[in-house]
Amino acid sequence: MLDLHRLKLLRELSYRDTIAAVADALAYTPSAVSQQLAILEREAGVPLLERTGRRVRLTPAARTLVAHAEEILARMEGAEAVLAQARANVTGTLRIGAFPSAARVILPGALVELGRDCPDLDLMVEEFDPALAAEALRTGTLDAALTQDYDLVPEPEHPALEARVVLAEPMYVASRGAPHDPDDPVGSFRDDWWIMGKPGNVCRLAAERICQAAGFQPRVRHQSDDFPTALALVAAGQGQAIMPRLGTVHAPDGVLLTALPHAARVAVTCRRGGSTHPAIAAFQHAVSHAVQDYRRDVAKGANDRSPRRSSS
């Protein structure tokens, strides 16, 4: 009989390539991971690993086993959801991840609704870069997360996760002055400085690709992953920035925001099979209501949430 815990280790190895990385992520020693995988190999009765220097490569049999492990783990999540549905109240701990602008704009309203409707549910929130949320969900650090992807940087399908898009909205270029060419708002600033996130940040990659689609490589002057900081630098005349509308909430006076034909999407993401768990389902509903409130405020321009345009 194959051991589920060892299957999880094999699956994690398929994502990380090295035993040391698996050990570090799951708080094991490398020798303990190696021993467990050796036992799994004996249980399977076929070779699962091929060593190439410090790295190990999964054999075709191992990759087949990982695919089955994904299905088994998804069924386990579904089984836990069914058991939770049988309880009278929504209880336990829900560990939520969110990227900063969603944590600032969407999450507070969702948490208020959850606290009212599920008073026995213990809520724990942690800010996460969307690029790191998948790993945290897969390994169990998080139960649900608000994640984000972009037209030019779509989130690849993840066999261990499921996502439901709750918000899609345009990207904007933020600038002090109006674009020279209204039909090419990004290209209008090709010779100017840009403010972008740090290398590896998903929004930076999206912004770079938007500039490249306009025919140039941006000259990056300042780097910040914080949208309010980037907007403050734009207001100070330090360059232009590209960000989703969600990041433009409370844009400073004097910042002109021009919509672009590129979209960003926000999704509620969880482990596959877990979306019917009462706690995660309640979180999805609460987020959907918070998004509706945000959309209404944007449409009305209430609470300074609609994108501002400079008077110049």
Can you give the residue range of the structural domain that contains 268?
90-312
149 and 256 inside one domain = yes
- Model confidence over 281-294: pLDDT tens digits? 999 999 999 999 99
Of 305 and 7, the one with more pLDDT = 7
The rounded distance, in Å, linking the Cα atoms of 71 and 159 is 9
101 and 72 housed in the same domain: no
Whether the per-residue pLDDT at 310 is higher than 60: the answer is no
The pLDDT value recorded for residue 306 is 39
pLDDT band at 303 (very low <50, low <70, confident <90, very high): very low
Residues 197 and 76 reside in one and the same domain: no
| Per-residue pLDDT at 243 | 96
Share of the chain above pLDDT 70, in %: 96
Tell whether 37 and 135 lie within a shared domain: no
Same domain, 190 and 267: yes
Q: Answer whether residue 107 shows pLDDT above 70.
A: yes
User: Given pLDDT bands bounded at 50, 70 and 90, which one contains residue 156?
Assistant: confident
Q: Within this chain, do residues 60 and 117 fall inside the same structural domain, yes or no? A: no
* Amino acid (one-letter) located at 255: V
Task: For residue 16, give every residue at least 6 positions away whose Cβ sits within 8 Å of its Cβ, in sequence order, or none.
Answer: 22, 25
Beta partners for 52?
Answer: 55
Q: Are both 76 and 105 inside the same structural domain? A: no
Question: How far is Cα 57 from Cα 34, in angstroms, rounded to an integer?
Answer: 13
Q: In CATH, what number is assigned to the domain containing residue 56?
A: 1.10.10.10
pLDDT at 308: 44
Of 152, 145, 156, which Cα lies nearest the Cα of 171?
152
Identify the pLDDT of residue 305: 35
Q: Which of 53, 83, 113 is the last residue of a domain?
A: 83
Other beta carbons less than 10 A from residue 203's beta carbon: 28
- Could you give the CA distance from residue 172 to residue 75 in angstroms, rounded to a whole number? 41
pLDDT value of position 188: 96
> Averaged over 69-89, what is the pLDDT?
94
Mean pLDDT, rounded, for 142-168? 93
Residues 190 and 261 in one domain: yes
Of 51, 83, 115, which one is at a domain's C-terminal end? 83
Q: Tell me: do 20 and 140 sit in the same domain.
A: no
pLDDT score, position 129: 83
pTM of the shown model? 0.87
Would you state the pLDDT for residue 304? 41
